[in-house]
Amino acid sequence: MPSSVMPTPRQGDGPQSPAAVSAVGLRKSYGDKTVLDGIDLHIPAGSVFALLGPNGAGKTTAVKILSTLITADAGNLHVGGHDLAADPQAVRAAIGVTGQFSAVDGLITGEENMLLMADLHHLSRSEGRRTAADLLERFDLVEAAKKPASTYSGGMKRRLDIAMTLVGNPRIIFLDEPTTGLDPRSRHNMWGIIRDLVSDGVTVFLTTQYLDEADELADRIAVLNDGKIAAEGTADELKRLIPGGHVRLRFTDPAAYRSAALALHEVTRDDDSLTLQIPSDGSQRELRSILDWLDSAGIEADELTVHTPDLDDVFFALTSDTNQSPKEAVR
C-alpha cells in the first residue's frame, strides 16, 4: 500500500480531456482462475459508470486494479489520463476509493478518522480541520464526530467512509457497493450524495448489486459475467437487448376482448384481467406498426401500455448459467 497520497488540484476536464477511466484488454487471474478475461472499459469524465455482476464476477478486482491497490496481469489502463503501469502515483493522486470493506478505524472518532486522511493528503492543520468540518457537516456526522467510529451504525460508517474518500478532493472516485446494507432512506441519501458529486464534475465508478441503483444513477452500465463484459450501455439500451418487452391491451368489454384475442395472433392472453400482450421492443417504430395493425383489425382497447423489461430481467438473462428463460412469469 502506498504510504503517501498526494492532493490533486490538477486533473483537467476540459473538452480535450481523455476518458476518466479507460481499459483495453484488462486481464487478471488468480492461480488458474481467470477473473477478468480481457475487458475493455471507457468512462467519460463527469459520468457515472456502474459495474454489475453476480458475486465473484470480479467487480472488486476491477476496482482494486484501477485504483492501484493490486496490479493487472495485462491491459492498457489509464485513469485520469495517467498510465496505470507507468505512473501509479499520479493515478493515486487523482482518485478516491471507498472499498466494499470499510477503511474506517473504529477505535478513533469520526473526526479523528477525517483528520488522519487530511494528514495523508498533506493538508495543513488548519486546512485539514476546515475540510474535516465541512465534510462531517455535509455527511450529517457533526453530532457523532466526537464519538468512536465503532459506535456508528452501518449507514453512518458508510457515510464516514465516503467523507474520508473526499478529503483529497478527488476528480474520480471508485465506490465498491456504496449502499450495500443501508436502509432505504440511507440509500436514497447516498444517491443524493453521489448525484451531488457528479454535478461537481466528479467521475464515479461504482459497483452495485442493486439494479435499481444502477438504473437510477448510472449513465452507462456494464454487466460483468464469466470474466467478460456481457453487455454495456445505458439502462434503456440494456433493457432493449433482451426479449420480454410488450404492449399490453386491456379491455373492459369481454366481447371486445374475445374478438381481439381471436383477431390477433402471437398474443399472450389473460382471460381473467381481459388483457392481451403483444411482444414488442418498445421502439416508436414498432409501436406505430402495432397501432396501425390494431386500427386495421378494428380493435379498440380501453387501455394500452408499453412495458419494457427492467434491469433485473437483463441481469438474469445475461448472467444466468442455465438455459432457463428469466421471463417465464409474465407480469
Ligand X SMILES: Nc1ncnc2c1ncn2[C@@H]1O[C@H](COP(=O)(O)OP(=O)(O)OP(=O)(O)O)[C@@H](O)[C@H]1O
Minimum gap (Å) between residue 312 Cβ and Mg ion: 19
Q: Which of residues 200-229 bind ligand X (CB under 6 A)?
A: none
Q: Which of residues 60-89 bind ligand X (CB under 6 A)?
A: 60-61
Q: Which of residues 89-148 bind Mg ion (CB under 5 A)?
A: 100
Complex with Mg ion: residue 61 or 275, whichever CB lies closer: 61
Complex with ligand X: residue 169 or 209, whichever CB lies closer: 209
With CB under 5 A as the contact rule, which of the stretches 23-31, 58-66, 80-88, 161-169 interacts with Mg ion? Answer: 58-66
Residue pair 288/282 in contact (Cβ under 8 Å)? The answer is no
Q: Which residue in 60, 109, 203, 225 binds Mg ion (CB under 5 A)?
A: 60
Measured CA to CA, the distance from residue 246 to residue 259 in angstroms comes to 20
Minimum gap (Å) between residue 100 Cβ and Mg ion: 5
With CB under 6 A as the contact rule, which of the stretches 6-14, 53-61, 286-294, 319-327 interacts with ligand X? Answer: 53-61
Residue 194 partner contact from Mg ion, ligand X, none using kind-dependent CB cut-offs of 5 to 8 Å: none
10 Å CB burial of residue 259 (0-12, 13-18, 19+) is middle
Q: Which residue type occupies 260?
A: A
CB atoms within 10 A of CB 249: 25
According to the binding rule CB under 6 A, does residue 57 interact with ligand X? yes
According to the binding rule CB under 6 A, does residue 56 interact with ligand X? yes
Minimum gap (Å) between residue 60 Cβ and ligand X: 3
Complex with ligand X: residue 162 or 299, whichever CB lies closer: 162
Minimum gap (Å) between residue 253 Cβ and ligand X: 50
According to the binding rule CB under 5 A, does residue 180 interact with Mg ion? no
Residue 8 partner contact from ligand X, Mg ion, none using kind-dependent CB cut-offs of 5 to 8 Å: none
Complex with ligand X: residue 100 or 308, whichever CB lies closer: 100
Q: Which of residues 142-161 bind ligand X (CB under 6 A)?
A: none
Residue 167 partner contact from Mg ion, ligand X, none using kind-dependent CB cut-offs of 5 to 8 Å: none
Q: Which of residues 95-134 bind ligand X (CB under 6 A)?
A: 100
According to the binding rule CB under 6 A, does residue 53 interact with ligand X? yes
Q: What is the SS3 string spanning the chain?
A: CCCCCCCCCCCCCCCCCCCCEEEEEEEEEECCEEEEEEEEEEECCCCEEEEECCCCCCHHHHHHHHCCCCCCCEEEEEECCEECCCCHHHHHHHEEEECCCCCCCCCCEHHHHHHHHHHHCCCCHHHHHHHHHHHHHHCCCCCCCCCEHHHCCHHHHHHHHHHHHCCCCCCEEEEECCCCCCCHHHHHHHHHHHHHHHHCCCEEEEEECCHHHHHHHCCEEEEEECCEEEEEECHHHHHHHCCCCEEEEECCCHHHHHHHHHHCCCCEEECCCCEEEEECCCCHHHHHHHHHHHHHCCCCCCEEEEECCCHHHHHHHHHCCCCCCCCCCCC
Complex with ligand X: residue 20 or 52, whichever CB lies closer: 52
Complex with ligand X: residue 145 or 204, whichever CB lies closer: 204
Q: Which stretches of the chain bind ligand X, using CB under 6 A?
A: 30, 35, 53, 55-61, 100
Q: Which stretches of the chain bind Mg ion, using CB under 5 A?
A: 59-60, 100
